[in-house]
Amino acid sequence: MDLEYSAHDAAFRVEVRDFIRTHLSAALAAKVLGHKRLTREDFLSWHRALHSRGWSAPSWPAQFGGPGWSAIQQHIFDEECSAAGAPPIIAFGVRMVAPVLMAYGSPAQQGFFLPRILSGEHWWCQGYTEPGSGSDLASLKTQATRQGDHYIVNGQKTWNTLGHWADWMFCLVRTSTEGRSQEGISFLLIDMKTPGITVRPIGLIDGEHEVNEVWLDNVKVPVANRIGEENKGWTYAKYLLTHERVNIARLGDSKRELKALKMLARRCRSDGRPLIEDLRFRDRIAHVEIDLLALEYTVLRVLSEEAADRDPGPISSVLKIRGSEIQQQLTELQMQVLGPRALAHVPDALEAGWQGKPDGAEWWAAASGRYFNMRKTSIYSGSNEIQRNIISHRILGL
């Protein structure tokens, strides 16, 4: 296996770096690298800059308006954007519902929604999880009753990420109670401005408003906004989750946080010397770095499968498990490096321009909040326990 980048890939990396240097503002990069609170406009401003170059959907084929990049180019792009402090691409549209539209959407749906996802005109959110229907998603109860050329939708969704900013929601609803629970689910695209939709914030343990509960009370949705066949939504939902779990690996972000961890370990001292000189702590850093390298190779394998129009299958569950565990390990090690200074959570530190005392407070004041926030990564998009069940069944045949 040749693990070296080709001259063409190296030239592409230079092109990406030049673009980022020119179009990513220093103020926005500082917010991302400093773990500051990002606004809707922060995300959209970077999305629009990418769209102007035709790069807002790195994984899309050229036929749908994407750059048609190879798996290696996608990897390089994500790696360079993360390292530079660019906001993440708005994944719910670009990397989750868009692949479903490409694979299963009608020409009319593709023609309407895909260009608006590319431009950033439509911000999407996810309507999967319900109270009591998280890991057992097929038990969902949100009901959609057909009346002529519309569905009337009633129910509740929860842990809805950034739904308070969204224009549209892709939503799983129950259209039949006959047969197995997976057989009565349909996949609807719902305009968030439709009467009857109420979005209520859920406060997380770090005090941030990132997720919501969404109530649907007699919400009228055109049948034309259904993806594929009625009662076949479970097929489309699984397809989407495969793409989501690949993205959740967040390889570029973890590589950036590993670099930050090493920097902190050189600055912070224990027994009068930098913590990086403690052999046991260096072992822990080396262990997570090796895991991260293995994750990178696995991500490249999956990207290659997708580029060849092959379903990566249960290997995406491996990415979900290892990616989320590495993210958690990095925040744990950063907390350990900072010691007592990491104990106090300072929400004000998430605002750009905040300056705290004593030394280095602008960085470490947000560390505990990130630690709290990363506890969720092993739960959402199918808990890691569920992913291990998938692996044991589909890979090991147990």
- Which residues are known catalytic residues? 244
Going by the DSSP 8-state scheme, the letter that residue 382 receives in this structure is S
**Residues β-bridged to residue 219:** 153
Going by the DSSP 8-state scheme, the letter that residue 93 receives in this structure is I
- SS3 track for 288-301: HHHHHHHHHHHHHH
Q: What angle do CA 398, 242, 371 make, to 5 degrees?
A: 95
- CA–CA distance, 350 with 80 (Å, rounded to integer): 24
Alpha-carbon distances, residue 16 vs 10, 21, 274, 353 (angstroms): 10, 9, 35, 28
Dihedrals phi, psi of 330, to nearest 5 degrees: -65, -40
H helical segments located in the chain: 7-23, 26-33, 40-53, 71-84, 91, 98-104, 107-119, 233-248, 251-267, 279-307, 315-338, 361-364, 367-374, 384-394
Alpha-carbon distances, residue 33 vs 88, 209, 334, 368 (angstroms): 12, 20, 14, 16
- CA–CA distance, 65 with 71 (Å, rounded to integer): 17
Query: 124-127 and 168-174: which strand pairing?
Result: parallel
Alpha-carbon distances, residue 193 vs 112, 190, 196, 300 (angstroms): 17, 9, 9, 39
Q: Residue 227: enclosing H or E segment and its boundaries? A: strand 226-227
